[in-house]
Structure 1
């Protein structure tokens, strides 16, 4: 098969479309003939040498894909060859084929294009596990989403809106702010021109904050929380280290979680299988009803993955970029 290899850590031009050994499904796995793979910021970090895959995972980039089941590993039930699926991966999506645990496979939701389904697994599992399963967001509460126009942000706005929660989102340009509004964010807050803390506090504070910035937003996020609020940190675009005012958190009875998805085991109470199962049972119906949909910025041939990485590096991407296999 052909796949994207990283020649050496560096800029997007280190990505090469090269021949690689064919994967084969182990016990409990399925082999997926890939139609498309989603591009995530974690891929950019791995390309630069800052985010190695978990032990035993494929060195090939790609945390989600869609395609058709080509082969079943020993002991797999519930799937058949030819099923159209999308899958949450620990790596390996930037390829013509990938082997994945069957417990991390989802059916392509009705009404969703096979290629566009590649933009669903990573964002839906990240949002659902952090915002709903961990932070407990429910109807009537108030969610603040940072980076509202990206893949995670566009999903989070839709999920919260579908659950009956109020959503505020931060974004930069007029175009990205408008996208947030169209998806259900009210208000959409310009991080360039407005102080999100003052805006959110004026609305009573956020019950849940989904944050991709990390250190640079830590103190401000705590200030923006409502009493008994929950700060869910899923990224560190603003740095890894910051001073934490525990007195401020105690006064608000605030909670904070930092939960990675990629490094989780497949099985167990906090494993990927449990998340995928909950997503399939509780979130997939919202997707099939059209209340949550993949927001696709564009499709790029997988052999041109460097172009997709350059676009995401440059900023301004709305939703997901998908890499398609010819």
Structure 2
């Protein structure tokens, strides 16, 4: 089969389409002819040699896909049949003509969705669902601050938080991104390039602060995050794109406010964890995609022949929502 490969660790110019061994599944898997996949920051890190795939995962880039079932493992025949349209989360291997996924982790593509729309869902929405509800324990009536609100995970988290009856504040880096977040349902949107977000979010919450923060930035936001959290607040660290070292940390406010700080990654979780997460998410979200309450946000669609351009576009941080690759 053909797949996007990496000549050697480095920039986007190292990506090319070449021949790679077609994957083979077990009795618990289905083989999917991939029609679309989507970019994630992890793809860039892996391309640069900074984020190796988990043990046993495909070394091919790509953490999600949508496509058509070609082969069905013996234990999956009551769930799927050849020709079914499916989408789902992968530990790797999405930038290829074929991918294998456990039958229990695949989800049906809604009749009214394109493959491109379906491919834009898994990583963003499952990460958002996990961090909001499984780790962040967000409840109706609470307030959440979502950093990188215009990212794939950010745009998903805004919608999920609102669907659960919570209030959502976000940070974003341009007025276009800020307005896009407001249109998705964010109650407050702060342009972080215009100065610290702390006072603006605090004012918008009547001085109370927030119950939960989802943070991709890390060290530069540490002090503002701790200050902004209410008593018993939760901080979920999803990434540290701005840096991972915080100098001269004081534990006083963490203790005084009984704060809980959790770091998480989804890719390295066990199959059982990701299966349970997928199935719970599908029960919650698929009906809401059907009625329009939730929707994938796609910034641009590239053919995989233009994968280098797509990676450069993500590295420029220009996208609002997901960047999708089509695979002919």
For normalisation by structure 1, the TM-score amounts to: 0.96
Asked if the contact 1:145/1:169 (under 8 Å) is kept, the reply is yes
Instruction: Report the counterpart of residue 197 of structure 1 in structure 2.
Output: 198
In 2, the alpha carbon distance for the partners of 1:27 and 1:222 equals: 48
Asked if the contact 2:37/2:325 (under 8 Å) is kept, the reply is yes
In 2, the alpha carbon distance for the partners of 1:158 and 1:175 equals: 18
> What SS does the corresponding residue of 2:160 show, helix, strand or coil?
helix
Asked if the contact 2:29/2:72 (under 8 Å) is kept, the reply is yes
Instruction: Report the counterpart of residue 323 of structure 1 in structure 2.
Output: 325
- Which structure 1 residue ranges, 4+ long, deviate > 6 Å from structure 2? none
**Shift of residue 110, structure 1, vs aligned partner:** 4.3
Alignment pair present for 1:75 and 2:75: yes
For 1:154-173, list aligned pairs within 5 A.
154-173=155-174
In 2, the alpha carbon distance for the partners of 1:102 and 1:232 equals: 30
Instruction: Report the counterpart of residue 57 of structure 2 in structure 1.
Output: 57
Q: Among residues 289, 298, 301, which one is paired with 1:299 in the alignment?
A: 301
In 1, the alpha carbon distance for the partners of 2:262 and 2:112 equals: 34
**Shift of residue 288, structure 1, vs aligned partner:** 1.8
1:268-325 CA distances to partner (integer Å, 9 max, x unpaired)? xxx1011101101112222222111110011101122111100000112110010001
1:225-281 CA distances to partner (integer Å, 9 max, x unpaired)? 1111111110110112224432211111111111110001101xxx10111011011
In 2, the alpha carbon distance for the partners of 1:276 and 1:90 equals: 13
In 2, the alpha carbon distance for the partners of 1:232 and 1:111 equals: 34
**Shift of residue 133, structure 1, vs aligned partner:** 1.5
In 2, the alpha carbon distance for the partners of 1:314 and 1:102 equals: 36
Instruction: Report the counterpart of residue 218 of structure 1 in structure 2.
Output: 222
> What SS does the corresponding residue of 1:75 show, helix, strand or coil?
helix
Asked if the contact 2:190/2:201 (under 8 Å) is kept, the reply is no
In 2, the alpha carbon distance for the partners of 1:39 and 1:197 equals: 31
**Shift of residue 224, structure 1, vs aligned partner:** 1.1
Instruction: Report the counterpart of residue 131 of structure 1 in structure 2.
Output: 132
Asked if the contact 1:108/1:114 (under 8 Å) is kept, the reply is yes
Distance verdict in 2 for CA 1:111–1:246, change over 3 Å: farther
**Shift of residue 44, structure 1, vs aligned partner:** 0.6
Instruction: Report the counterpart of residue 186 of structure 1 in structure 2.
Output: 187
Gaps of 5+ in 2: none
Alignment pair present for 1:147 and 2:143: no
Asked if the contact 1:104/1:272 (under 8 Å) is kept, the reply is yes
Alignment pair present for 1:253 and 2:258: yes
Which shifted more, 18-27 or 83-92? Answer: 18-27
In 2, the alpha carbon distance for the partners of 1:109 and 1:275 equals: 19
RMSD between superposed Cα atoms in Å = 1.2
**Shift of residue 201, structure 1, vs aligned partner:** 2.3
Instruction: Report the counterpart of residue 113 of structure 1 in structure 2.
Output: 114
In 2, the alpha carbon distance for the partners of 1:288 and 1:210 equals: 27
In 2, the alpha carbon distance for the partners of 1:12 and 1:55 equals: 24
For normalisation by structure 2, the TM-score amounts to: 0.96
Gaps of 5+ in 1: none
Asked if the contact 1:296/1:319 (under 8 Å) is kept, the reply is yes
Aligned residues: 323
**Shift of residue 152, structure 1, vs aligned partner:** 0.6
Asked if the contact 1:207/1:230 (under 8 Å) is kept, the reply is yes
Q: Among residues 217, 225, 243, which one is paired with 1:239 in the alignment?
A: 243
1:9-56 CA distances to partner (integer Å, 9 max, x unpaired)? 111010010011111222311101101001011101101111100000
In 2, the alpha carbon distance for the partners of 1:138 and 1:79 equals: 34
Asked if the contact 1:25/1:71 (under 8 Å) is kept, the reply is no
In 2, the alpha carbon distance for the partners of 1:266 and 1:115 equals: 25
> What SS does the corresponding residue of 1:222 show, helix, strand or coil?
helix
